[in-house]
Structure 1
Amino acid sequence: MKTKRTSLEDIAKAVGVSKATVSFVLNGKGDEFNISKEKQKLIQDTAKEMLYVPNFFAKSLRQGETKTVGLVVSDISNPFYAELCKTIQEELHKKGYNVFIVNTDEDKELEKILMRELFQRSVDGMIISPSNRIDSLIPILHETHIPVVFADRQGDENADFVGVDNFKEAKKLVYSFSKQPNKLAVVLKSNSMVITLEERIQGAEAACKELGIPMELVQLPTDPKQVDKKIKSLTEKGFDSFLVLNNVVVLKILAGLKNNGIELGTQARMICFDDDEAFAFVDPPITALRQPIVEIGIHAVDRLFDRLKESHKPGKHDLRKCELVIRKSH
């Protein structure tokens, strides 16, 4: 059976004082209102005995802020976003804030619903790694005046953003192969096309055009047998290099190469845009671009707090540097 939550009025009756007196003491204002130390201790001890829990939303309403930030991510199962969430939560905790994390699973309609639910919870600000483009989100963002910072995936040139230059970094990766590719397969998972991937594709296309390298965009099937067939078809067509745009498909490509008797590092080469701790332990180890996830999280929080202080300044784009981790697959 559910028991009734202890209220300020319950404590006031138990101690024999007014509800206002209890409120003053439990909000640390006992001395300010000349309440004796003995009475303050009695009220505090009684609150503990009665298992009193402050009403968070009522307190927030009085103070005009909730000390909470909404964090919207597109796929929390992705190691990138898991680390980003961890970093942002830790940084907010240091500043005395809590975080509501919502996962959209790349569902654009769910994202809109969850964003509105966060607004209804009166979050003080929001950090978003969106599935939708900014034009779809603007009507929702205009429903509230809270500050918003985009992380990893940008909104537009006027919105605060912390992330990397996907175009520039992908372009550099094409130049980073130990031997210039005869033909380059640019690979991503099936049915995956968000703004960051589009920017990476454009960067790879620009580099291939400059170097005169034939390029094919490959959306890898989910069925392992179809992956094997796709890898075989690509290698038979002369594709000897793979630029993988997100790390979730690397193991599938490795399996496809192995099942077709193709040795990575000699007969074929691979660079992945996103690093993964497992890449150092496969044979051969995978050369990959390491994004500054912790930096992105820290600076996204810092930018949000700057915006909380000053809401009229133009948005800033804070582009962080990546690191190419050289191993043996490229």
Structure 2
Amino acid sequence: MAEDTKVSIIVPVYNVEQYLQECIDSILSQTHRNLEIILVDDGTPDASGKIADENAAKDRRIKVIHKENGGVSSARNAGLMAVSGDYFCFADADDRLEKDYVDYLLQLALDNKTEVSLTTELYTTFAATGEQDDSFEIVSGVEAACKILCYRMPIGVYCKLFSSELIRKGARFEEELFIGEGFNFNVDSFMLAKNVAVGHRKIYFYRKDNEASAMTRFRIDKIRCALKAIDFIERKHSKASNYFLKCVNFARWHTHCDMLFFIYNADAKRIFPEDYNRCYKVARKDALSAFGVRTNNRERIKALLTLIYPNTIAHLIRWRMNRHLRKNS
């Protein structure tokens, strides 16, 4: 029965004292009570580690790991090594979970006998609004990996539940990666799984306004790391199907387009001309990869525009951002 199934929730903790308690409270409020909550203090310099310890003193389900700073992949791997649950999932310490987060994902996995369950939808504001979609489908692990490579589902490790058997099969984070590490882990885990249950209910609140987040600040090493993540996937799964490798090539093109935008938007192309030129060339050269995989029309339109002039997308995104800022100023 679901209530007898233990679920471990891994939360990396670093510089999140402003948000951590809200995240912990949302976990403690889960309708599924059989939890192991693993808070991994990754050598945080603020009061986050103390907040974690204070919560552990109040609830025996909370386990705190204090370690030297090694980055988010190292922190998550430390959490994986401590898992004692039948299933595990992840939450970022500046985000929040709906009360039925674990229940929903666990029921999807148990009812359909899958090693992974996930939802493709999430909240991008902290106000729960809109109708819910309770439809779902069952796909093979390889098909799920292809879907995520084609950006047809969220690429982060949030909104997903994994069988702990995958840890025993070798599911780990690449510790060299600090951007794209979740994308990489998901592809590897899906490839280890026989089947994946794909739902569409919104159960996760994703915070976009944390200035300390790795996703909110431009650094050239983030761009290089994101590209390295794609290289890891290609090397590890070089003997996969031809279609899978086409999806990897699409993901590489997509990542180069994203990185081209980040460099352009930060006015950094004169500072990092080699990175800019490489991204520009790949964005144009491999644009047709969007037509060799199952993706949406928006990606294909982007590919056609990029084929003509790679900076088109960057211009359009900047124009939309500026218009949004003017409307809200």
TM-score by length of 2: 0.28
TM-score by length of 1: 0.28
